A and B are shown apart, each in its own frame.
Chain A
Amino acid sequence: MSVKLLVINGPNLNLLGSREPEIYGYDTLADIEARCQALVQGYPQVSELTFRQSNHEGELVTWIQQAIADVDGIIINAGAYTHTSVAIHDALRAYAGKKIELHISNPHLREPFRHVSYLAAAVDGVIAGLGVAGYEHAVSIMIDQLSEHT
């Protein structure tokens, strides 16, 4: 068994560590990726963990489409596109692998315009409000869930 995972990050997540650290913490996306890469070293079944970030909605859609061919699971933190993007919803619907929607904070505890997610109905599970540790938690449960079904 060889598992390929993709972690997709949306707009403004390139600013992690400096943007509103009281909400998002002081870790950069590179710090988070390094911890996730270290985590998957403990899982020999994982052959690849790829981290991507873009501020452009269409690029996120393209990455999901490209993943259809050979990625087993997608973890997506679509940032603010969560609350607006029918296009990302549709791309996720077209992707048959495991899908987790991830947020650093819990959007349901924030402004009302963050209470609706266009992605949540198109994914298998949702993780929110666990801080940046949520990335590692998402990777480990993704691996557990993929192992359960293979």
Chain B
Amino acid sequence: MKVLMLNGPGLASAIQQAGYDQVSPELIEQACIRTCQDLALEPDFRQSADDLQIVQWLRQDLASASALLINPLSTQAADAASYPAALVRALDEHAPSTLPIIEVHLSNPFVDAQSQPLRPSGCNVGLLCGFGLQGYVLAIQALHRQLAASSEAASS
């Protein structure tokens, strides 16, 4: 079962801003891959500085994923405000309603209202904010638990 893990623009600078001196995008990726492998999940970790690429990945690759972890981050592009709306549209159009999805933020975005969480209407999204690298690890564990619960429900 594949876990698609998408990271939006500016992961390295977000890590820096959050004050996680010991963390890097590479360490996050390694921790995610290791956590997936420990849980017999197939990791697919991606990062792009191009917000359109994140939307495109959602459109193209949600169908082949068993679960989604997304750290949307934010774009500095001129049309920055359209990025979260495009993510929500892609989720509404391409995410099955039963797909386990968790939105991860390294820091707590509510402290200074940096960003609003995603609000798709057709699927459930879990939120994990403010736990740094550990938030990614926990998100994968939580996705694994959701997948195990739904396969148990399907077989009973």
Residues from chain A with a CB closer than 8 A to the CB of B134 are 141, 144-145, 148
For the complex, give the distance between the alpha carbons of A128 and B131 in Å.
13
Mark out the residues of chain A between 90 and 140 whose CB falls within 8 Å of any chain B CB in the assembled complex: 106, 108-109, 117, 120-121, 123-131, 133-134, 137, 140
For the complex, give the distance between the alpha carbons of A145 and B138 in Å.
12
Residues from chain A with a CB closer than 8 A to the CB of B108 are 120-121, 123-126
B135 touches A125 (CB 8 A): yes
A126 touches B110 (CB 8 A): yes
Residues from chain A with a CB closer than 8 A to the CB of B15 are none
B130 touches A109 (CB 8 A): no
Residues from chain B with a CB closer than 8 A to the CB of A137 are 138, 141-142
Quick one: given A123-B108, A137-B141, are A106 and B126 in contact (CB under 8 Å)? yes
What 0/1 pattern do residues 105 to 119 of B give for CB contact below 8 A with A?
A: 000101110001111
For the complex, give the distance between the alpha carbons of A13 and B119 in Å.
24
For the complex, give the distance between the alpha carbons of A21 and B1 in Å.
28
Mark out the residues of chain A between 66 and 105 whose CB falls within 8 Å of any chain B CB in the assembled complex: none
Quick one: given A144-B134, A145-B131, are A109 and B124 in contact (CB under 8 Å)? yes
List, sorted by A's number, 22 A–B pairs whose CB atoms are closer than 8 Å: A108-B116, A108-B118, A108-B119, A109-B120, A109-B121, A109-B124, A117-B110, A121-B108, A124-B130, A125-B128, A125-B129, A126-B129, A127-B128, A128-B126, A130-B128, A130-B142, A133-B145, A134-B142, A137-B138, A140-B138, A141-B131, A141-B138
B-contacting residues of A (Cβ < 8 Å)? 106, 108-109, 117, 120-121, 123-131, 133-134, 137, 140-141, 144-145, 148
